[in-house]
Structure 1
Amino acid sequence: MSVVTSSPEQLWPATRDLAEIERVPLERRGLPASSYHALLRAAELWPQRPALHCLPDAERWEQPVSLTFADLAADVQRAASVFAGVGIGRRDAVAIVSVNCREMITAMLAAEAVGVAAPINPALAGEHAAGLVRLSGAKVIVAAGPELDEGIWSLARRLAAETRATALLALRPTAPVGPPPQLEPLAGMTVAHLETLARDAPANTEPAQAPRAGDLASYLHTGGTTGAPKLAARTHGNEVANAWMIGTRLETEGAMFAALPLFHTNALIVTLLAPLLRGRPVVWAGPLGYRDPALFKVFWRIVERYRIAAMSAVPTVYATLATLPLDADISSLRMPIVGAAPLPRAVIDAFLDRTGIELCEGYGLTEGTCASACHIPGLARAGVGVRLPYQQVRAARMESERWHPLPNGEVGTLLIKGPNVFAGYLVATPEGPVVEPGENVRDGWLKTGDLGWVDGDGNVRLSGRAKDLIIRGGHNIDPAVIEDALLEHSEVTAAAAVGRPDAHAGEVPVAYVTLTAGASATETQLRAWATAHVPEPAAAPKRVEIIDAIPVTAVGKPFKPELRRRVAEDVAREALAGRASSVTARLGDGQAIVVSVRGVDDPALQAALGAFSFGWENAGPAD
């Protein structure tokens, strides 16, 4: 049975003009109903066209394991049969804990074909990972096997035992050598290599219940700056629509390079599903991805060898690439996409100077499936790009429990509406997990938590995170203006500004920065630089501290609560002037900061710390 429901002309607009594109209702475009149908469509249209080139590692960049679209579809159907055989149905989650490898791509698509994919960052602390597995309700765990990563396999065995999983399936490295090793059994569950079970499973076998657009496809943990991950539930309709939107901006020829981890929505939507819809091959880096130093030694040669036209990475990757000598023909590269963190102007300029190519900035969030705005190559860049087709983006202000839209150009909280807005967060109940939109979605509008505005041309412009505002004596300071000023300095590679508790002003701004290797700038010089470049005197940071790395969340976004914790600890120590035997600060419920003090009595603590915004506790007498 054919799954091709539309012609290329119907599916893909011949223009990038939003008004022209949106004259055709999205439902008349003929999008596949699910990620599974997108895969079958690709196998039907381009059975012998390369779909994947998976590099075993950076050293073996010329020895990929390659699959056609027909090969990929057959592998996914076999794995889907395995999952169905161990009890996975349409509403059941498969937890996937692994570094990237060829089999992980198969497992992700197969989990969505018969149930719900729930990829988990293997770097999470064990208790956090276990909490996410329990919340998802997953009874089947797929994980990097001992050949691929012994540490992850050990974690997965612990997760399987703690969550009473019914099956633990191991993934092998891309291009493994020899037969798979024996796996130590676990009582009461199936423990096996996915490859071994899939070998005898039938290909070209449809799931018992093929997914529909409204069915859940994935649970992805969020990576906001609060650092408190939730499981965001997205439907097949969400994923396919957003992948299609991104596909309208992708180059129609050439390969895509992928090296971000597949537990992140960018890797899933931008570098897996969007190329799948367009029939474009994807070159997948080895298990370390962009964290592999060896990758950068051969990166430009990879671009030349595979004719890479598009790629997706974070700003630090492009900052590194901008320092590398060009030792290959990279004329195929036309769309280097960047997102997930603020993009310094210095990185844009350095990459352009090195390569002659403009970075293509994008903006989105997990709850919006992935992307909501992206620059259009060849057009003048403004903000974080033009909104994607069939999405609405606007700035609004909350008044009397209602959002009131603001005119173009006025700063407010950014809201997003469209077929990409997620189904809701997964919430634990006695009867099992349920999906609830929560307070972030009202009348179909998703509150992003970002401050910004939209101009008359549909360009989305950011000005900071609402929760990150620094309030100095009642005056709101957007930390982005401080960070932007510092990022203009040629030796600053990253910057984060937060409020320092102050007894008189409530908060005063301070900043943390990282510098280029061999930089000579001092903290005093950087503070003077920021003071000269911020738009108003109130935003001038009281301190600038140089650190080795900005703290980040599990998915690599700046984690400002940790910086605020450090600041509160410093403030408390200074206020107590050496009278305490120990002063420590921690993040409590809702990321509230609590300072714990030993060796000072309650009246003295109240006198010293009572005027500050953080909470404090008496931890007892001196040690």
Structure 2
Amino acid sequence: MTWPRYDGPEDLAAIEAVPLEDRGLPESTYELLRQAGTRFADRPAVTLLPSGEAWEHPVTWTFGELLARVHRIANVLTELGVTRRDAVALLAPNSGDVFAATLAAQAVGIAAPVNPGLAPHQVRELLETSDARVVLAADPDLDVGRPVLSLAELAARADRADPVRLAAEPPRSTDFAGYFHTGGSTGTPKIAVHTHAGEVGMAWTLAASTGADDLVLLAALPLFHVNALLVTGLAPLFRGRHVVWAGPLGYRDPALYPAFWRIVERYRIGGMSAVPTVYAVLAHVPVDADISSLTFPIVGAAPLPAAVRRQWREHTGVDLVEGYGLTEGTCASARGFPGAPRPGTVGQRMPYQKIKAVRIDGDGWTDLPPGEPGVLVIRGPNVFPGYLRRTAEGAVPDPAGKVVDGWLDTGDLGSVDAEGFVRLTGRAKDLIIRGGHNIDPAVIEEAMLAHPAVSGAAAVGRPDRHAGEVPVVYVTLHAPTPEPELLEWAASRVPERAAVPKAVHVVPEIPLTVVGKQYKPALRQDALRRVAEDEAAALGLGDVRITVELDGGEPVVVVHATPPADLSSTLDSYAFRWRHTGRPRDA
């Protein structure tokens, strides 16, 4: 396959001059794997690190060996009764067999990876919605309301299965390939449906956009996240790229960071994908190795603080490459370019996708001119067919309320310039994004409303230097109750550890719209003010007055003084905008 030039924004038009359907793409993710296993049979495909601590003792599979492992696992799944419309749930940390099982599930059925950190009742609801025929998990005694096949038993059965012949009929482009859950608005994650055509097209676009064939990638995100599967799983198959998987915990492994630069040197890592928090940590890890191979560090999933961008560049000499995407868009919709940063944007729209800003009101959608902010909508072969819904006829994807005339409502606010570069200005949706992890505020609110003294609850994200956002909750009370007691209640009742609020604020009333809905922008502004005030107080500047003002609809922290250098440095490390009045501190 001949790859088009894709080094800068000027290459987009030439790429799109050839229709995607004329690119000769494989029919399915299985066919993509089969071609890779044949074309690159003896080339290293995946190197599996046991952990950050034991990184010098890896196992490597070639593309031929990966294909054989997928055949073995796929044939075990077929023996277990999995057919084309059956979901296979995967509930385990990253491993070679989890990766192979994900590809195998797509070869004979539908892969349905589940975050093992979710509360048990959420896991059960996801399994019920997907109607998973088989649950693959690290723990054979896991209580999820249906039979579980342990990874150890899967491996034992796979060792006896046929490594050459796929027992099932290969999938077609229109078949469902994956069920990926995302944050929802009802307290239970929604399941986004992916087709083989959508994943293959997305993988081709990612493969075209990330450099040469010999680019070695580091994979450290969990496989229940689309980025892990698409960026470091499927896209490398197109070009025979070597991927180093950083152990079961990935970026969550504290032992990974002291060895990180030596891992980059040992494997000549060229590309990686992570959230801003990871880069913030690495920007303070002494570089004790040759990292000249690292040219394509991708950052996304959460706002990138200017300070993290600057610190990373000063520490490594490499620019971060911003990206933007969402599960409903299969993975990615905009990307930047190495060596040509456009600060303030998350990159240019990717080939074969259209992105525009619209105004949504009672009359429908109105397109906005380049540069004018509105709600971002996306159209292209990457747009998902809908969220999974259970019906009398079985599970079907339902696009209602999310896709209109082929356009995906992202729920994000931003603008698109004439070159297709996207600038984000906020989120219309209420999700709290903590280190790239989507948290539904409803799970926090429901837990708080179960307290006998709580009459109202509204959870929002508070800016955080390390995680981007952390959850906080505002409550109104029937009876006086100390905030520490409420925080303790939240810690014991919120079902997901990442969603436990960092603070509970008792307020006289929760702001409402004219129709009686909670008006969370006012609470987010209050949380923003509290963060700035806390930082000032920590530096002994508690007498400095701080407010939050709106600039074009975007909240801006205003320090009513000329702040000292230490406060300026601290506020610069956050992703929010801020300014000062220039008046003396006592004015």
TM above 0.5: yes
In 2 relative to 1, CA 423–494 (structure 1 residues): closer, same or farther, beyond 3 Å? closer
Q: Distance in 2 between matches of 1:316 and 1:298?
A: 17
Q: Distance in 2 between matches of 1:532 and 1:524?
A: 20
1:228 Cα deviation from its structure 2 partner: 4.0
Contact 1:365/1:371 (CA < 8 Å) preserved in 2?
Answer: yes
Asked whether 1:218 is paired with 2:178, we answer yes
What are the superposed Cα offsets for residues 136-189 of structure 1, whole Å, 9 maximum, x if unpaired?
Answer: 0112111114xxxxxxx443xx11xx23x4xx32124xxxxxxxxxxxxxxxxx
1:91 Cα deviation from its structure 2 partner: 0.6
1:114 is matched with 108
2:150 is matched with 170
Q: Distance in 2 between matches of 1:504 and 1:113?
A: 49
Q: Distance in 2 between matches of 1:361 and 1:418?
A: 20
1:34 Cα deviation from its structure 2 partner: 1.0
Q: Distance in 1 between matches of 2:462 and 2:150?
A: 48
Q: Which amino acid aligns with 1:105?
A: F
1:242 to 196, 202, 206: 202
2:137 is matched with 143
Tell me, which stretches of 5 or more residues in structure 2 are unaligned?
A: 432-459, 475-506, 560-574, 576-587
In 2 relative to 1, CA 372–523 (structure 1 residues): closer, same or farther, beyond 3 Å? farther
2:308 to 347, 353, 361: 347
Q: Which amino acid aligns with 1:407?
A: P
Asked whether 1:307 is paired with 2:307, we answer no
Contact 1:251/1:310 (CA < 8 Å) preserved in 2?
Answer: no
1:196 Cα deviation from its structure 2 partner: 1.1
Contact 1:254/1:308 (CA < 8 Å) preserved in 2?
Answer: yes
Q: Distance in 2 between matches of 1:299 and 1:125?
A: 31
What are the superposed Cα offsets for residues 189-244 of structure 1, whole Å, 9 maximum, x if unpaired?
Answer: xxxx1111111111111242211111100000013688641010000111111111
Larger deviation, residues 500-509 vs 84-93: 500-509
Q: Distance in 2 between matches of 1:335 and 1:65?
A: 25
Contact 2:463/2:528 (CA < 8 Å) preserved in 1?
Answer: no
What are the superposed Cα offsets for residues 416-452 of structure 1, whole Å, 9 maximum, x if unpaired?
Answer: 0001011211111233222211210011100000001
What are the superposed Cα offsets for residues 243-281 of structure 1, whole Å, 9 maximum, x if unpaired?
Answer: 111111112123100111000111011111111112101
What are the superposed Cα offsets for residues 118-144 of structure 1, whole Å, 9 maximum, x if unpaired?
Answer: 000001111110010011011211111
SS in 2 for 1:332: coil
Larger deviation, residues 77-86 vs 195-204: 195-204
TM-score, normalised via structure 2 length? 0.77
Q: Which amino acid aligns with 1:281?
A: H
Q: Which amino acid aligns with 2:151?
A: L
In 2 relative to 1, CA 229–530 (structure 1 residues): closer, same or farther, beyond 3 Å? farther
1:251 is matched with 211
In 2 relative to 1, CA 260–74 (structure 1 residues): closer, same or farther, beyond 3 Å? same
1:202 is matched with 162
SS in 1 for 2:46: strand
Q: Distance in 1 between matches of 2:252 and 2:294?
A: 21
In 2 relative to 1, CA 56–534 (structure 1 residues): closer, same or farther, beyond 3 Å? same
Q: Distance in 1 between matches of 2:554 and 2:6?
A: 46
Asked whether 1:295 is paired with 2:256, we answer yes
Larger deviation, residues 372-381 vs 278-287: 372-381
2:375 is matched with 413
1:273-292 paired onto structure 2 within 5 Å: 273-292=234-253
2:278 is matched with 317
1:261 to 204, 222, 245: 222
TM-score, normalised via structure 1 length? 0.72
Contact 1:451/1:466 (CA < 8 Å) preserved in 2?
Answer: yes
Contact 1:98/1:143 (CA < 8 Å) preserved in 2?
Answer: yes
Q: Distance in 2 between matches of 1:51 and 1:402?
A: 48
What are the superposed Cα offsets for residues 68-121 of structure 1, whole Å, 9 maximum, x if unpaired?
Answer: 000000000110000001000111000110000111011000000000000000
Contact 1:171/1:195 (CA < 8 Å) preserved in 2?
Answer: yes
1:121-132 paired onto structure 2 within 5 Å: 121-132=115-126
Larger deviation, residues 396-405 vs 203-212: 396-405
Q: Distance in 1 between matches of 2:231 and 2:241?
A: 12
SS in 1 for 2:401: helix
Tell me, which stretches of 5 or more residues in structure 1 are unaligned?
A: 1-7, 146-152, 173-192, 470-482, 544-557, 559-623
Larger deviation, residues 308-317 vs 195-204: 195-204
1:363 to 324, 329, 334: 324
SS in 1 for 2:394: coil
1:523 Cα deviation from its structure 2 partner: 8.7
1:445 is matched with 407
Q: Distance in 1 between matches of 2:536 and 2:288?
A: 29
1:392 to 341, 348, 354: 354
1:582 is matched with none
1:97 is matched with 91
In 2 relative to 1, CA 124–301 (structure 1 residues): closer, same or farther, beyond 3 Å? same
SS in 2 for 1:277: helix
Larger deviation, residues 239-248 vs 218-227: 218-227
Q: Distance in 1 between matches of 2:513 and 2:418?
A: 41
In 2 relative to 1, CA 520–62 (structure 1 residues): closer, same or farther, beyond 3 Å? farther
Q: Distance in 2 between matches of 1:536 and 1:217?
A: 41
1:410 Cα deviation from its structure 2 partner: 0.9
1:378 Cα deviation from its structure 2 partner: 2.1
SS in 2 for 1:298: helix
2:538 is matched with 522
Asked whether 1:510 is paired with 2:526, we answer yes
Contact 2:262/2:288 (CA < 8 Å) preserved in 1?
Answer: yes
Q: Which amino acid aligns with 2:410?
A: T
Q: Distance in 2 between matches of 1:329 and 1:46?
A: 28
Q: Which amino acid aligns with 1:88?
A: V
Q: Which amino acid aligns with 1:396?
A: V
In 2 relative to 1, CA 504–361 (structure 1 residues): closer, same or farther, beyond 3 Å? closer
1:428-577 paired onto structure 2 within 5 Å: 428-468=390-430, 494-495=468-469, 501-502=510-511, 507=522, 509-511=525-527, 522=538, 525=541, 531=547, 535=551, 539=555
Q: Which amino acid aligns with 1:511?
A: A
1:581 is matched with none
Root-mean-square deviation (Å): 3.2
Q: Which amino acid aligns with 1:13?
A: P
In 2 relative to 1, CA 65–415 (structure 1 residues): closer, same or farther, beyond 3 Å? same
Give the share of equivalent positions with the same residue, in percent: 49
Q: Distance in 2 between matches of 1:386 and 1:526?
A: 42
Q: Distance in 2 between matches of 1:533 and 1:436?
A: 39
2:562 is matched with none
Contact 1:486/1:492 (CA < 8 Å) preserved in 2?
Answer: no
Asked whether 1:402 is paired with 2:364, we answer yes
Contact 1:259/1:290 (CA < 8 Å) preserved in 2?
Answer: yes
Q: Which amino acid aligns with 2:176?
A: L
In 2 relative to 1, CA 123–527 (structure 1 residues): closer, same or farther, beyond 3 Å? farther
1:375 to 336, 341, 351: 336
What are the superposed Cα offsets for residues 533-561 of structure 1, whole Å, 9 maximum, x if unpaired?
Answer: 97489946699xxxxxxxxxxxxxx9xxx
Q: Distance in 1 between matches of 2:194 and 2:188?
A: 19
In 2 relative to 1, CA 224–325 (structure 1 residues): closer, same or farther, beyond 3 Å? farther
Contact 2:273/2:298 (CA < 8 Å) preserved in 1?
Answer: yes
